[in-house]
């Protein structure tokens, strides 16, 4: 067998498999003396570093090492410099070798050692571990280029142990390829005046395309290699480049509604190409030349390009090129690739002879549909409009509905996984949560979602048990959600049928030693459940925007539920899913209308206050509500007591009102200063002089009315609740977000002001100019991943002046509610009071993009006497609050003849499409009614039980019934004895009830032939044991001498000795089963609650 490695050889050594020693992956160092004959040990690849595995077997006495590939890496080999003679072999060779060793336990083997192999065939071959496209976040071709990244000689660090271990090695990965590209970019930068975007385009245009996949044969595609392998010499001689501005990069941010497909990149991609899509690229010449343009593809899409020829007469000229892709005849959901190629007709001698091309990647769809729809609702029925869809021609709108299906919630308690880098190393010991579920073939959708978590970071993995061993394993994963947050989510459309598992890992606990509560919802969506409909236009022209309306109506929804479904968009009944399928998630939150009472138990002749609350509107549109509340029988309205704008007439309360939405309403910044706020600080103890940290001003930042871009990498900056990539700053004392820089920025404004510029944070807004000198300059810095700093030293007026002051802004990328965590901090130093006065009116404040919100510490006023040395001004962002709820109250008097439980119900409806009249109710029990039965479905039965004198409750004060407590056999004997009024018995029937308060009741039941005890000998009654439903059925059957049943009513009692009695109870309508609404089960072994016995006895003995 031929493998890869960079070590010396070994001959005639016994060969063994590490799996026979309990650790096939060689994850931990083996104990010294595990091997004593210099064995060659075979380890399986996976989970830890390749070289570390060799070190682990060396610790156990191995003389050699074979690394056998896993399935995922197949034939991809890496020639590592191992700690002992070693070789890396393919997966197929590993299977053969391990089988041979198992069959020949005394076998020996040789490792030949490294042999120098220089061959062009070793180059331009993708590694199996190389990250591939498609880019699932934005529509660009990823990667952009490829570069050498396998078996690269690299420093491993100095040998500090004295062990003689080499301090260099052969490393592979992005960490090796990335320096190649960075170095190439640096070389090109040193030879040209190109921008970074132009340098990138040059490397992409001239890249070598003869790259193959890891099998060494198949041509790599753009998702493997991007444009190809970087060639610096060719890049330096490209005939044209492509540039892009910072502003356009920011404008293309999809989180802000931008489109990355419009960026002027040397590649083209579209994952949602409906019928036809196009791209335009602007080329800037580096010299004269004439080029023919052609497009090629091996797919069934049709590519076009205009113009077909371009001419440059010299450097610096620009021309636009437009490429189109017609996918009318293409299958959906499959990526297709092509190339735009440039062939020189006339070219200058300095130009490259390399192939110049741009990759094209297209995925055909029949419509531009959302990836999912999420609905949050406080009602059981409502609607949601999905806007701005496009599709191919729709002749007869058709939709197939899946769901809505309730997610079944599993609650678990998870401690931190101490080995959180591997979620599968302890799936059997309770460290991670495991949920098993079955997905039927033909199911519409599977969803697993973490809906609640005390831990700040949970990771979620979902897989199919393909090997039927009942255990989750990493190679079975079909969905992984492992972000830095807790509420992870996996959704699969058209899943394969089979046995599935979900692994829930506590990656970061809430506190040291904490066991965190986590709730996970699982739903398997199958057919239409009849609780959701989708409506769209009857017909629609190709690519004309249209809306669809989702209408849901599920009375079983309850607060805290999560329901899941999907809908398709079809062109006609014969093609019901031709355009696509959209997942739908519905989160049911607290009721939008709630009702409470001031008392749970009230006496006759006393007052009760009812409160109706219409909660804050959580939808995106204002809603009109109509409420009607009929004063229930047994209560009388107290005249004049109603509040909240409601009216009461003839015992009926009415209210109508509009609940406004806070959606789209901007928040505000609250300003404080270090003079009055002890927490207001830069985080560095006042003004931070960046020069003290060795950070010098940037001499290129000079000018007037000029916008500079900064901090465009890393997390976005959140300003007024919106995320922006990077910030802009200028010479007039403010920073801007997004596209806010426009108008007359040198004229300070009071905020808010709709006149441009907008979307700004003004440190001190005045008419200034940036200079680079011994006393003036601008410095940029970061302090960790979340903080950016811009420092302006020696600020000057426009056209130059004496330095006014030093000022700086400390910007937080994210919003925090923590005390002392401010989103913006302005600080001042070296303030010249005279020059501050010369600035005129200035503004220190903030303003959002549309000027609907603006706040100021100083609003177009003189800063004289306001700005001073060491002043720190802090701005804390406060999101817009929800509009307050509407609250209605009124009083009633409990009538003297009222009794039992009085239910008060308010009916309510709003004007949202699909909304229905719903109800909110509250119960008030009169004195004598148990407090804990209000709202219980068996409340009437319990009241009947009390009226018959069968129970006085479960507490000495008689206020509680304990309806959900299980009933004991002794308690059952007492209730049944009182209900039947049985004669007493002088015979002591059982030996285990002598100390039971229910002994007389038990003896009475035995004497009447209703019970025969709990053991075969009939000597024990087991008075403290909980009674089962089957035992109760037998006792009631004997007590009532019921006739035989005509049918076998239940499916789960066939093996029960109580089946006959159970069927008799059902025929007499004393029981209806235990699993409504089907009620085909009785649950004979289930326990009986105190509330359930009330229902049994009421049905059996009541009128």
Task: Say whether both 557 and 600 belong to one domain.
Answer: no
CATH code: domain of residue 101? 3.50.30.30
Q: Is the pLDDT of residue 72 over 60?
A: yes
Residues 578, 569: Cα–Cα separation, whole Å: 7
pLDDT score for 10: 93
Last residue of a domain, one of 311, 332, 365: 365
Any domain includes 876: no
Residue 356 CB burial class (10 angstroms; 0-12, 13-18, ≥19):
buried
CATH code: domain of residue 651? 2.60.40.740
Task: Say whether both 391 and 309 belong to one domain.
Answer: no
Last residue of a domain, one of 560, 588, 616: 588
Q: Radius of gyration over alpha carbons of the chain, in Å?
A: 38
HEC sequence for 269-322:
EEEEEECEEEEEEEEEECCCEEEEEEEEECCCCEEEEECCEEEECCCCCEEEEE
Task: Say whether both 656 and 744 belong to one domain.
Answer: no
CATH code: domain of residue 426? 2.60.120.380
Q: Give the residue-averaged pLDDT of 853-862.
A: 96
Task: Say whether both 431 and 571 belong to one domain.
Answer: yes
560 vs 175 pLDDT, higher one: 560
CA distances from 599 to 103, 634, 636, 896, 957 (A): 81, 15, 16, 17, 18
Residues 427, 425: Cα–Cα separation, whole Å: 6
Residues 888, 722: Cα–Cα separation, whole Å: 36
Any domain includes 134: no
pLDDT score for 120: 77
The secondary structure of 688-741 as a DSSP string is --GGGGT----TT--BSS--EEE--SSSPEEETTEEESSEEE-TTSEEE-TT--
The secondary structure of 566-631 as a DSSP string is EEEEBSBTTBTTSSEEEEEEEEE-S-SEEEEES-SEE-TT-EEEEEEEEPPB-SSS-EEEEEEEEP
Q: Is the pLDDT of residue 159 over 80?
A: no
Q: Give the residue-averaged pLDDT of 666-688.
A: 94
- 714 — pLDDT class (breaks 50, 70, 90): confident
Task: Say whether both 510 and 526 belong to one domain.
Answer: yes
Task: Say whether both 1055 and 914 belong to one domain.
Answer: no
Q: Give the residue-averaged pLDDT of 450-474.
A: 92
Q: Give the residue-averaged pLDDT of 785-795.
A: 93
pLDDT score for 34: 96
Find, among 974, 967, 1034, 969, the residue nearest to 998 by Cα: 974
In sequence order, what are the beta bridge partners of 925? 601, 901
- 483 — pLDDT class (breaks 50, 70, 90): confident
CA distances from 427 to 45, 417, 419, 448, 513 (A): 20, 11, 12, 18, 20
Q: How many domains would you assign to the chain?
A: 6
Pairing of β 276-285 and β 318-326: antiparallel
Q: Is the pLDDT of residue 465 over 90?
A: yes
Find, among 156, 128, 123, the residue nearest to 51 by Cα: 156
Residues 760, 826: Cα–Cα separation, whole Å: 14
Any domain includes 816: yes
- 85 — pLDDT class (breaks 50, 70, 90): very high
Residues 309, 291: Cα–Cα separation, whole Å: 6
What are the tens digits of pLDDT across the range 591-627?
999 999 998 888 888 899 999 999 999 888 899 999 9
Residues 25, 94: Cα–Cα separation, whole Å: 13
Any domain includes 135: no
887 vs 137 pLDDT, higher one: 887
Residue 900 CB burial class (10 angstroms; 0-12, 13-18, ≥19):
middle
CB 921 within 8 A of CB 904: yes
The number of CA neighbours under 13 Å toward the Cβ of 299 is 24
Last residue of a domain, one of 349, 365, 381: 365
Residue keyed to tokens 């087991």: 1022
Find, among 613, 601, 672, the residue nearest to 819 by Cα: 672
Task: Say whether both 256 and 377 belong to one domain.
Answer: no
CATH code: domain of residue 208? 2.60.40.2310
609 token code pair: 């206050």
Residues 612, 614: Cα–Cα separation, whole Å: 7
Q: Residue 1065 belongs to what domain range?
A: 938-1101
Find, among 10, 115, 5, the residue nearest to 62 by Cα: 10
Task: Give SS3 for 142.
Answer: coil
Any domain includes 870: no
Task: Say whether both 916 and 968 belong to one domain.
Answer: no
Q: Return mean pLDDT, the chain.
A: 90
What are the tens digits of pLDDT across the range 1047-1079?
999 999 999 999 999 999 999 999 999 998 889
Helices 969-980, 1090-1101: crossing angle, 10 deg rounding: 20
980 token code pair: 């039947």
Any domain includes 841: yes
Q: Which of 81-95, 105-119, 1078-1092 has the lowest mean pLDDT?
A: 105-119
CA distances from 1088 to 803, 968, 1002, 1031, 1055 (A): 86, 8, 18, 10, 20
Residue 175 CB burial class (10 angstroms; 0-12, 13-18, ≥19):
exposed
Residue keyed to tokens 């952009």: 144
Residue keyed to tokens 């709990």: 1014
DSSP state of 533: E
For residue 621, how many other CB atoms are within 10 A of its CB?
11
Q: Give the residue-averaged pLDDT of 341-369.
A: 81
In the chain, % helix, strand, coil (3-state, to 5) comes to: 15, 35, 50
Q: Report the phi/psi class of residue 833: left, alpha or beta, with left for phi > 0 and alpha for psi in -120 to 50.
A: alpha
Task: Say whether both 40 and 71 belong to one domain.
Answer: yes
CB 778 within 8 A of CB 792: yes
Q: Is the pLDDT of residue 694 over 90?
A: no
Residues 197, 844: Cα–Cα separation, whole Å: 35
Task: Say whether both 700 and 824 belong to one domain.
Answer: yes
What are the tens digits of pLDDT across the range 870-883?
999 999 999 888 88
Any domain includes 137: no
Task: Give SS3 for 611.
Answer: strand
pLDDT score for 172: 72
CB 966 within 8 A of CB 1087: yes
Q: Give the residue-averaged pLDDT of 773-794.
A: 91
Q: Is the pLDDT of residue 472 over 60?
A: yes
Q: Which of 147-161, 1018-1032, 1081-1095 has the lowest mean pLDDT?
A: 147-161
Find, among 968, 967, 949, the residue nearest to 958 by Cα: 949
DSSP state of 409: E
pLDDT score for 167: 59
Residues 962, 955: Cα–Cα separation, whole Å: 9
Pairing of β 356-365 and β 268-274: parallel
Instruction: Name, in order, each residue with C-beta under 8 angstroms of 626's C-beta and a sequence gap of 6 or more.
Output: 654, 655, 656, 908, 909, 910
Find, among 461, 452, 443, the residue nearest to 565 by Cα: 443
Q: Give the residue-averaged pLDDT of 290-307.
A: 94
Residue keyed to tokens 């079909």: 478
- Percent of all residues in the chain with a pLDDT value above 70, rounded to a whole number: 97
CB 204 within 8 A of CB 267: yes
Q: Is the pLDDT of residue 156 over 70?
A: no
pLDDT score for 160: 46
CB 495 within 8 A of CB 443: yes
1033 token code pair: 């059925």
Any domain includes 128: no
Residues 301, 329: Cα–Cα separation, whole Å: 7
Task: Say whether both 225 and 341 belong to one domain.
Answer: yes
Task: Say whether both 22 and 39 belong to one domain.
Answer: yes
Residues 10, 18: Cα–Cα separation, whole Å: 18
């Amino acid at each position: 067998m031929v493998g890869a490695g960079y070590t010396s050889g070994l001959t005639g050594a016994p060969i063994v498999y590490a799996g026979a020693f309990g650790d096939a992956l060689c994850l931990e160092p083996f104990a010294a003396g595990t091997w004593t004959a210099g064995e060659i040990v075979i380890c399986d690849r996976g989970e830890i570093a390749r070289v570390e595995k060799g070190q682990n077997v060396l610790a156990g006495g191995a003389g050699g090492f074979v690394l056998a590939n896993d399935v995922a890496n197949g034939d991809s080999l890496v020639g590592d410099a191992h700690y002992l003679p070693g070789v890396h072999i393919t997966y197929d060779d590993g299977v053969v070798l391990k089988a041979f060793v198992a069959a020949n336990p005394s076998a020996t083997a040789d490792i030949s050692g490294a042999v120098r192999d220089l061959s062009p065939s070793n180059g331009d071959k993708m590694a199996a571990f190389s990250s591939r496209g498609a880019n699932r976040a934005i529509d660009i071709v990823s990667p952009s280029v490829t570069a050498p990244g396998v078996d690269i000689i690299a420093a491993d660090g100095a040998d500090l142990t004295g062990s003689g271990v080499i301090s260099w090695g052969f490393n592979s990965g992005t960490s090796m390829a990335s320096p190649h590209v960075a170095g190439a970019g640096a070389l090109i930068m040193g030879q040209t005046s190109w921008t970074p975007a132009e340098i990138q385009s040059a490397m992409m245009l001239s890249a070598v395309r003869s790259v193959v996949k890891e099998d060494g044969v198949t041509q790599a595609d753009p998702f493997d290699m991007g444009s190809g392998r970087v060639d610096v010499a060719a890049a330096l001689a490209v005939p044209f480049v492509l540039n892009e501005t910072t502003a356009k990069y920011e404008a293309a941010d999809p989180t802000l509604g931008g489109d990355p497909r419009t960026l002027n990149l040397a590649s083209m991609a579209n994952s949602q190409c409906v019928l036809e899509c196009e791209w335009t690229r602007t080329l800037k010449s580096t010299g004269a030349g004439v080029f023919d343009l052609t497009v090629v593809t091996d797919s069934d899409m049709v590519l076009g390009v205009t113009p077909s020829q371009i001419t440059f007469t010299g450097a610096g000229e620009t021309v636009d090129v437009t490429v189109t892709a017609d996918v009318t005849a293409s299958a959906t959901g499959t990526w297709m690739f092509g190339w735009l190629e440039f062939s020189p007709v006339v070219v200058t001698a300095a130009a490259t002879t390399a192939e110049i091309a741009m990759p094209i990647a297209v995925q055909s769809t029949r419509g531009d549909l959302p990836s999912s729809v999420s609905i949050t609702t406080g009602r059981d029925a409502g609607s949601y409009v999905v806007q701005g869809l496009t599709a191919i021609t729709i002749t007869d709108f058709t939709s197939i509905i899946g769901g809505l299906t309730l997610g079944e919630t599993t609650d678990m308690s998870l401690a931190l996984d101490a080995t959180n880098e591997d979620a599968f190393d302890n799936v059997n010991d309770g460290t991670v949560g495991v949920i098993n579920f079955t997905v039927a073939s033909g199911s519409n959708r599977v969803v697993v979602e973490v809906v609640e978590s005390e831990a700040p970071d949970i990771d979620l993995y979902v897989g199919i048990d393909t090997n039927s061993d009942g255990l989750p394993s990493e190679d079975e994963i079909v969905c992984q959600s492992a972000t830095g947050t807790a509420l992870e989510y996996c959704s699969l459309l058209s899943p394969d049928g089979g046995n599935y598992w979900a692994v829930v890992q506590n990656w970061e606990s809430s506190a040291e030693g904490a066991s965190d509560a986590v709730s996970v919802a699982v739903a398997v969506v199958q057919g239409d459940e009849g609780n959701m409909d989708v409506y769209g236009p009857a017909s629609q022209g190709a690519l004309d925007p249209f809306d669809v309306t989702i209408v849901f109506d599920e009375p079983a929804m309850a607060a805290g539920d999560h329901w899941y479904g999907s809908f398709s968009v079809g062109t006609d009944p014969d093609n019901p899913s031709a355009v696509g399928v959209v997942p739908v998630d519905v989160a049911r939150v607290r009721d939008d209308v709630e009702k409470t009472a001031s008392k749970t138990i009230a006496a006759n002749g006393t007052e009760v206050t009812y409160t109706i609350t219409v909660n804050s509107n959580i939808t995106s549109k204002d809603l009109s509500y109509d409420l009607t509340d009929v004063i229930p029988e047994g209560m009388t309205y107290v005249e004049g007591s109603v509040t909240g704008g409601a009216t009461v007439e003839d015992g009926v309360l009415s209210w109508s009102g509009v609940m406004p939405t806070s959606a789209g309403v901007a928040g505000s910044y609250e300003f404080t200063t270090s003079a009055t706020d002890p927490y207001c600080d830069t985080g560095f103890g006042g003004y931070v002089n960046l020069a003290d940290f060795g950070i010098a001003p940037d001499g290129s930042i000079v000018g007037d009315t000029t916008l500079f871009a900064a901090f465009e990498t890393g997390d976005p900056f959140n300003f007024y609740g919106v995320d922006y990539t990077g910030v802009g700053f200028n010479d007039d004392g403010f920073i801007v977000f997004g596209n806010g820089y426009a108008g007359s920025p040198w004229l300070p404004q009071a905020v808010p002001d709709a006149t441009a510029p907008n979307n700004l944070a003004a440190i001190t807004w005045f008419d200034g100019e940036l200079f680079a000198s011994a006393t003036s300059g601008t410095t940029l810095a970061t302090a960790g991943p979340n903080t950016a700093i811009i420092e302006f030293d020696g600020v000057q007026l426009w056209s130059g002046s004496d330095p006014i002051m030093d000022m700086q802004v400390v910007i937080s990328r994210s919003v925090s509610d923590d005390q002392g965590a401010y989103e913006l901090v302005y600080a001042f130093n070296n303030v010249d009071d005279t020059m501050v006065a010369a600035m005129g009116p200035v503004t220190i404040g903030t303003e959002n993009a549309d000027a609907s919100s603006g706040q100021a510490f100083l609003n177009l006023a003189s800063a004289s006497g306001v700005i001073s040395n060491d002043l720190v001004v802090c701005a804390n962002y406060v999101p817009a609050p929800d509009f307050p709820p509407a609250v209605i109250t009124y009083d009633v008097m409990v009538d003297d003849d009222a009794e039992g439980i009085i239910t008060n119900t308010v009916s309510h409806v709003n004007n949202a499409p699909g909304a229905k009249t719903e109800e909110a109710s509250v119960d008030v029990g009169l004195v004598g009614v148990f407090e804990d039965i209000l709202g219980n479905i068996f409340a009437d039965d319990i009241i009947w039980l009390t009226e018959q004198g069968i129970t006085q409750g479960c507490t000495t004060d008689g206020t509680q019934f304990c309806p959900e407590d299980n009933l004991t056999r002794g308690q059952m004997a007492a209730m049944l004895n009182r209900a039947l009024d049985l004669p007493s018995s002088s015979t002591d029937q059982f030996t285990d009830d002598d100390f039971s308060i229910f002994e007389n009741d038990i003896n009475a039941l035995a004497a009447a032939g209703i019970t025969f005890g709990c053991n075969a000998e009939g000597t024990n009654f087991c008075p403290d044991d909980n009674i089962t439903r089957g035992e109760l059925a037998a006792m009631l059957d004997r007590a009532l001498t019921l006739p035989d049943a005509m049918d076998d009513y239940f499916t789960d009692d066939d093996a029960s000795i109580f089946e006959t009695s159970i069927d008799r109870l059902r025929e007499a309508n004393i029981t209806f089963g235990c699993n409504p609404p089907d009620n085909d089960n009785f649950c004979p072994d289930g326990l009986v609650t105190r509330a359930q016995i009330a229902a049994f006895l009421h049905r059996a003995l009541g009128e």
